[in-house]
Amino acid sequence: MPEPSSRDDADDTDRADQARHADRAVGADDAAAGLPQRLDGLYATRPPWEIGRPQQAFLGLARSGALRGRVLDVGCGTGEHVLMCAGLGLDATGVDLADRALSAARAKAGERGVTARFLRHDARRLAALGERFDTVLDSGLFHMLAPGDRPAFADGLRAVLRPGGRYFMLGFSDREPRTPGVEVPYRLTRNDLTTAFAGTLRIDSLDPATIEITLNTVGIRGWLLAGTRLSTPAA
């Protein structure tokens, strides 16, 4: 199929189909509402964000040497970014609530002969891990969080990142057209991100990026955020 040169009607339909896979925000009361089962159901077939390799945005970070030390991938899915980091010789852990995704990630690690750890854990409750990391990766998690859950996520990020540790987030941008009747994934503004992490991170860069998907070759308009954990909370 020729590579599309614009976002045509077929691409709009594909994006709508993708969005319907995640038509509710991840909210604080979702565990009681069956969130793990709902997330697991997304992996009954291959979801559009599982492209079978790392996102180019994160590959660029790996090639630049920006990923260091102990790495945590929040909402790791089937583990491509965890396995990328493990392949670099880094101590890499992924957390997710979808059992099917975690099983697939562990199978990939075995097939590739890579040592990595995959845990069933709620990424909104990172402090409960009781561990510290040098790098946290987030490909497609933050844009699923309801606004009311973002402060708790930032607090959890502060708990697991060592002072000076880095957080890299790839998520939907407000430049991506909305699907009528569908709110989630949230289209994040620059202000959404700087406000959410104020007092937790120094925002080092916040650049337009593409989120690759299986549905088309155009992808999703996103943000790539790079931040450094502050040693003390900002005043």
Domain ranges in the chain are 9-229
Angle at 65 between CA 172 and CA 105, to 5 degrees: 60
Residue 223: alpha-carbon gap to chain centroid: 11
Range of lowest pLDDT (23-27, 60-64, 105-109, 182-186): 23-27
Range of lowest pLDDT (12-16, 30-34, 78-82): 12-16
Question: Residue 40: pLDDT above 80?
Answer: yes
pTM: 0.86
How many whole angstroms separate alpha carbon 94 and alpha carbon 84?
A: 11
| Reported confidence tier of residue 27, pLDDT bands at 50, 70, 90 | low
| Reported confidence tier of residue 232, pLDDT bands at 50, 70, 90 | confident
Instruction: Determine the average pLDDT of the residues in 72-81.
Output: 98
How many whole angstroms separate alpha carbon 75 and alpha carbon 95?
A: 6
Question: Residue 89: pLDDT above 50?
Answer: yes
Question: Residue 26: pLDDT above 90?
Answer: no
Judge contact between 93 and 116, C-beta under 8 A.
Answer: yes
Question: Residue 5: pLDDT above 50?
Answer: no
| Reported confidence tier of residue 13, pLDDT bands at 50, 70, 90 | very low
Residue 99: alpha-carbon gap to chain centroid: 17
Query: 79: closest CA among 97, 63, 96?
Result: 96
Instruction: Provide the strand spans (E) within the chain.
Output: 70-74, 91-96, 117-120, 133-139, 161-172, 201-211, 220-229
Q: Domain 9-229, what fold?
A: Rossmann fold (3.40.50)
pLDDT for res 107:
98
Query: 75: closest CA among 29, 23, 22, 114?
Result: 22
Work out the mean pLDDT of the chain and round it to a whole number: 88
Instruction: Determine the average pLDDT of the residues in 153-158.
Output: 98
Instruction: Determine the average pLDDT of the residues in 183-207.
Output: 97
| Reported confidence tier of residue 17, pLDDT bands at 50, 70, 90 | very low
